[in-house]
Structure 1
């Protein structure tokens, strides 16, 4: 039996199984449109899209990680370090393209390092990525001395997060391209089938000829790469690199993936649901701001959403069994 036969439903279009989250998203938007007259304005919807794009980009790669049965807690820290390196190179006079490529390469290397420790040394993904998060956060503070890098008013760099392709903001266009690429990779290539097969049963996937270790390393490299891209875009958006950038982003990213229907137990990955999950997180935060809810309650609401999503995932897994 081939890897592709281990889960026939896996080959269905992703969006054919995202009805529940889509309905929840629509209901949430309708409720907020009644609660605040400013929610459905064009300007506010663009704000939601821009704010969600950083989480969405990282969540696309996290879908592969969680679909494989893993976890990556380092993405927020990698985002911050890649943003700081991008800013440092730009302030040193390097061209935008060089700074961007360096940031993406750095994110990929960090992700690959985590992947090697997990795949080849048998270390637990939770502990490895938690340790990498701590190390990278420390490196950021040493590298920046705790001081933000300002003065990134470079037109070519600003365009990455502030420009438009026709009526579409550039970061939204970048996110759309990354989504298409990831969807093809997950649903139309042997690599995507191997990811889900490992999440379903790693030993069975290995016996089927899947190079489990190599696939794991590449998945964590993808996670680091996308965190680097998000770091570049966030730095471009802020025109500055903040040492504390990305704090708590890993929770939002994981929540977006789980809310979207990807199973924490592995074996199921839903990219379309992930996009909706990221938008739900963005809409919730935006709605709380519009309703002038005390910021201390924001984390309470986000935490409750995560708990509900995990509970639904657990119930779904039991029901399917």
Structure 2
């Protein structure tokens, strides 16, 4: 019973059920969708979005935002493609991706947590700078004509149609989930997002926690760029554009509050599968792919509005409970004097 009650309170459960509902509805319209192969393909195709969603989840849980992750992904994907063209190693690509992600994450963290610049404004500026850098690095051209082991591994099946990347992602999600829920420092991100002043009073450094969140976010965005280049075999100059919005929507859809302090990685992962599967579902229900951005935008609006309403209800409910408890205490005190 205890575990059942905890399961009911799990915010990620709603995104999991929503994912199942979407699959079932699509299957009702087109029964060909509900096959093992199609479902596994939907999960295999979500790895890039999942990496982005996991990274930005750390930032959102602290109550901030990062709209530069799409540009970070585009830059590291371009560099990975150029390294692949000269037959460089995957290890070299990952080193570049991690270093670039750490650098951009540190810059965002300093701007937001040290200089107290609004996170949306600062990361938007970083996004613009990185987009310009992508043009410089790529020469304004699509990075293509790279093949070999790098592109083969992107779609290499490990078992039962599950790709290597998906298997690694599942392991990463499990490890991060345990770290965030079972370790003391892992809970700092939620604590900072929930109550920064309270976190400071109990000895948690808000600045360091937000810095770490942005660095982790940058690293995951950088690695997502390498995975993107590996899976698709080419990188155009606008690669990653709009991905930040889908990653944010995935997190909120997965139960992570935009105001911080609520949510977990499992919800972000399920939300990423939903957001990445929209275009595939459109094909099976015979709607043009032009509806993809429209549906994604509508879903984002609905999710954000719903989250705002839930947060408002939670605040008002907590305020009502405090008022009732104070009134009861006052009545008890007055009654005792009589």
What's the TM-score, normalizing by structure 1? Answer: 0.91
Which moved further from structure 2: 31-40 or 70-79? Answer: 31-40
Equivalent residue, structure 1, for 2:155: 162
Which moved further from structure 2: 68-77 or 169-178? Answer: 169-178
CA distance in 2, matches of 1:307, 1:221: 28
CA distance in 2, matches of 1:203, 1:160: 46
Give 1:283 shift: 2.7
SS at match of 1:264: coil
Equivalent residue, structure 2, for 1:102: 96
CA distance in 1, matches of 2:148, 2:105: 29
Give 1:14 shift: 10
Map residues 47-66 of structure 1 onto 2, 5 A cutoff.
47-66=41-60
Equivalent residue, structure 1, for 2:76: 82
Q: For the Cα contact (< 8 Å) 2:64–2:260, is it kept in 1?
A: yes
Map residues 193-272 of structure 1 onto 2, 5 A cutoff.
193-272=187-266
2:279 to 280, 285, 293: 285
Equivalent residue, structure 2, for 1:177: 171
Which moved further from structure 2: 210-219 or 83-92? Answer: 83-92
Map residues 84-163 of structure 1 onto 2, 5 A cutoff.
84-155=78-149, 157-163=150-156
Structure 2: stretches of 5+ with no match in the other structure? 1-5, 316-338
CA distance in 1, matches of 2:12, 2:88: 44
For 1:43-90, what per-residue CA distance to the aligned partner results, in whole angstroms no more than 9, with x for missing partners? Answer: 322331232111111101211111110101011110010111112223
Give 1:15 shift: 8.5
CA distance in 2, matches of 1:25, 1:93: 39
Count residues in correspondence: 309
Give 1:261 shift: 0.6
SS at match of 1:269: coil
SS at match of 1:165: strand
Q: For the Cα contact (< 8 Å) 1:60–1:182, is it kept in 2?
A: no
Q: Are residues 13 and 99 of structure 1, via their aligned partners in 2, closer, same or farther at CA, if it must alter by over 3 Å? A: farther
Give 1:118 shift: 1.0
CA distance in 1, matches of 2:159, 2:124: 41
Structure 1: stretches of 5+ with no match in the other structure? 1-11
CA distance in 1, matches of 2:283, 2:38: 11
Q: For the Cα contact (< 8 Å) 2:12–2:263, is it kept in 1?
A: no
Give 1:170 shift: 0.9
Which moved further from structure 2: 112-121 or 72-81? Answer: 112-121
Q: For the Cα contact (< 8 Å) 2:249–2:271, is it kept in 1?
A: yes
CA distance in 1, matches of 2:9, 2:54: 14
Q: For the Cα contact (< 8 Å) 1:66–1:269, is it kept in 2?
A: no
For 1:253-280, what per-residue CA distance to the aligned partner results, in whole angstroms no more than 9, with x for missing partners? Answer: 0000001111011110222211221122
Which moved further from structure 2: 87-96 or 269-278? Answer: 87-96
CA distance in 2, matches of 1:13, 1:58: 26
Which moved further from structure 2: 219-228 or 35-44? Answer: 35-44
CA distance in 1, matches of 2:195, 2:64: 13
